[in-house]
Amino acid sequence: MNGYLPQDRESRRAMLESVGIDLDKLFDMVPEQLQYDGTCDCLNEEGLSELEVIRALEALASKNVDSRRYDSYLGGGIYDHYQPSAIRHLTQRQEFLTAYTPYQAEISQGTMQAIFEWQSYICRLTGLDVSNASMYDGPSSAAEAMLMACRAKRRNRVFVSEGVNPETRQTIRTYLHAVGFDIVVGALDENGQTQQFLPEEGDEYAAWLIQSPNYYGVVEDLESFAEKAHAAGALAVASCDLVSLALLKSPGECGIDIAVGDGQSLGLPQNFGGPTVGYMATTDALLRRMPGRICGQTVDRDGKTCYVLTIQAREQHIRREKATSNICSNQALLATTATIYLAMMGEAGLTEVALQSQTKAMYLRDKLIDTGLFEPVFKGAFFREFALRPVDGVDLKALNEALLDEHILGGYVLPGNMWLIAVTEKKTVEQLDRFVDAVRRLAKKEVAK
């Protein structure tokens, strides 16, 4: 008996008999030696009731530490911003949740228009001409942008700043190595910026990639980066956090050709790193090089405004091995989530989120430095996230362990004993003071050991 099926075996048998088929011979096209009916102790024999299922899942979830019960200072690509209640109520509507890809425009205008709105929001935030319907996540979007640049420039190597998230760099390396292309990584200067270590002219890169704010939270100079990339004949690609763009000049305005990144910070839960949603925006000139689905506005037979998937001839289902990418799914529901977040927050809300995150991050950073235990790793201006280094050899991993006892998830420990700390608008000053107090007490204890 299967609880999710509306028929049992007997009614199924009767149904098939009415058209002359024997239920017991349903699988007789499968060679006998391949028919399989094994058991294993990794699979419960009979299905569990709904109550048993949720109990089992609750038991597993309770073995995790999460940012509702603990104060978390983790970032590194995934951030604990507030998600307005309306979002979950709207995105749990089955019409959004259980629809497939909008292949039939007449009965999927909801998904289509939400995607069109996502594209519009992404263009406004990034200052670029066109956006696609979304990508799997930030790292894979950056990797696709590198391949796109290689196709457009007919070159087969790319330059990537060390300030780009290592998750992204590793993903790019995998995608590029698969087709025999090269990735060259450039170092950061003492400000934590890429400027001094850009490639020489004549190095024949298809693209230069930078991240801003970068992995260490430092804001990069996109304008001079784009200018130098263009002078060297490369496309300028930037991975940008979308919340930060409430305060920072848009990549489009800075002359960037392709902007990519992750939309998790716009109303998505942390979800242990996934699923999130990637974005990609570019200039009109590069539109047809862009991978992924694109939604466009048109009219129906009666002249009524409507939305369709368009410019599809780039895609796998038409071009097969000549497509711009094999990607077919986007992250429609999560793009819709981010879109509803932007609609709920508006200019006022998003700007407030950005300002409070940054103000609180600066407050915490100053207080931690004031303890005399830490010094900043980089001097450059940052957003929401910053890196510290202990001055007297505190073992950060041990400190994080000790902080767990006080229900605090400390910053992420980077190679070289650096502490990457992220602060969002959700933190209160009281929480920040409690963190500083705990660090002061526990770090001294660690040093004393």
Partner 1 sequence: MMYKDTPVILTQTGEVTGQRMIPQAELEHVDAKSYYGKAFRAEKLPLPNLSEIGVIRHYTNLSLKNYGVENGTYPLGSCTMKYNPKINEDSAGLPGFANSHPLQPDSTIQGNLELLWDLEKKLSFICGMDRFSFQPAAGAHGELLGLLLIKAYHEKRGDTKRNVMIIPDSAHGTNPASAMMVGYDVREVKSNEKGMVDIGALKKAIGDGEEIAGLMLTNPSTLGIFDESILEITKLIHDAGGLNYYDGANLNAITMRVRPGDMGFDVVHLNVHKSFSTPHGGGGPGAGPVGLKKILEPYMPVPFVQPDGDKFKLVHESEDSIGKIRGFIGSHGIFVRTYAYILANGRQGLREVSEGAVANSRYIYERVKDYYRVGTTSKTMHEFVISADNLKSKYGVTAMDVAKRLIDYGFHPPTVYFPLIVPEALMVEPTETETKRDLDGLADALIQIAKEAETDPDVIKAAPHNTPIARPNETQAARNPILKV
Partner 2 sequence: MSELRDDVKYAKSHEWIKIEGDVATFGLTDYAQDQMGDLVFAEVVPVGTVVEVDGTIGSVESVKMASDVYSPLSGEVIEANDSLEDAPEQINEAPYDTWFVKIRLSDPSEVESLLDKDAYAALIEEE
Tell me whether residue 377 is exposed, middle or buried, using C-beta atoms within 10 angstroms of its C-beta: 0 to 12, 13 to 18, 19 or more.
buried
Q: How far, in Å, CA of 412 to CA of 409, rounded?
A: 9
Binding site for partner 2 (CB under 8 A): 288, 311-314, 318-319, 322
State which residue, 199 or 296, has the beta carbon closest to partner 2. Answer: 296
CB of 335 to partner 1, least distance (A): 8
Sign of CA dihedral 294, 295, 300, 305: negative
Q: Contact, 410 vs 422, CB < 8 A?
A: no
State which residue, 324 or 358, has the beta carbon closest to partner 2. Answer: 324
CB of 425 to partner 1, least distance (A): 5
What angle is formed at CA 110 by the lines to CA 106 and CA 111, rounded to 5 degrees?
A: 100
2 binds, among partner 1, partner 2, none (CB under 5 to 8 A by kind): partner 1
CB of 312 to partner 2, least distance (A): 7
Q: In 10 A of CB 21, how many CB atoms? A: 12
Tell me whether residue 362 is exposed, middle or buried, using C-beta atoms within 10 angstroms of its C-beta: 0 to 12, 13 to 18, 19 or more.
middle
Q: Contact, 112 vs 295, CB < 8 A?
A: yes
Touching partner 1, residues 4-43 (CB under 8 A): 4-7, 9, 11-12, 15-16, 19-21, 23, 26-27, 29-31, 33-40, 42-43
CB of 445 to partner 1, least distance (A): 19
Binding-site size, partner 1 (CB under 8 A):
210
Q: Contact, 159 vs 207, CB < 8 A?
A: yes
Q: Contact, 220 vs 212, CB < 8 A?
A: yes
Binding residue (CB under 8 A) for partner 1 from 50, 393, 416, 449: 50
Binding residue (CB under 8 A) for partner 1 from 184, 190, 298, 437: 298
CB of 207 to partner 2, least distance (A): 21
Residue 392 near partner 1 by CB under 8 A: no
Binding residue (CB under 8 A) for partner 1 from 155, 158, 163, 168: 168
Q: How far, in Å, CA of 409 to CA of 403, rounded?
A: 7
How do strand 182-186 and strand 157-161 relate by DSSP bridges?
A: parallel
The contact pattern for partner 1, residues 355-374, with x = CB under 8 A and - = no contact, is xx-xxx-xx-----------
Touching partner 1, residues 181-200 (CB under 8 A): none
State which residue, 57 or 313, has the beta carbon closest to partner 2. Answer: 313
Binding residue (CB under 8 A) for partner 1 from 182, 190, 201, 347: 347
Residue 449 near partner 1 by CB under 8 A: no
Sheet holding 157-161, edge to edge: 130-131, 278-282, 258-262, 235-240, 207-212, 157-161, 182-186
Binding residue (CB under 8 A) for partner 1 from 296, 376, 389, 398: 296
Residue pointed to by tokens 């590069």: 286
Q: How far, in Å, CA of 384 to CA of 127, rounded?
A: 22
Tell me, what DSSP letter sits at residue 21?
Answer: -
Q: Which of 265, 336, 408 is nearest to 86 (CA)?
A: 336
Binding residue (CB under 8 A) for partner 1 from 391, 429, 441, 444: 429
120 binds, among partner 2, partner 1, none (CB under 5 to 8 A by kind): partner 1
Residue 407 near partner 1 by CB under 8 A: no
314 binds, among partner 2, partner 1, none (CB under 5 to 8 A by kind): partner 2
Strand-pairing partners, residue 72, are: 409
CB of 161 to partner 2, least distance (A): 32
Residue pointed to by tokens 């992420």: 412
CB of 414 to partner 1, least distance (A): 10
State which residue, 133 or 364, has the beta carbon closest to partner 2. Answer: 133
* Backbone dihedral angles phi then psi of residue 266, each to the nearest 5 degrees: -95, 70
Touching partner 1, residues 88-127 (CB under 8 A): 88-90, 92-111, 113-117, 119-121, 123-125
Q: How far, in Å, CA of 304 to CA of 322, rounded?
A: 34
Binding residue (CB under 8 A) for partner 1 from 226, 235, 260, 294: 294
Piece in contact with partner 1 (CB under 8 A), picked from 148-156, 216-224, 229-237, 386-394:
216-224
State which residue, 313 or 355, has the beta carbon closest to partner 2. Answer: 313
- One-letter identity of residue 347: E
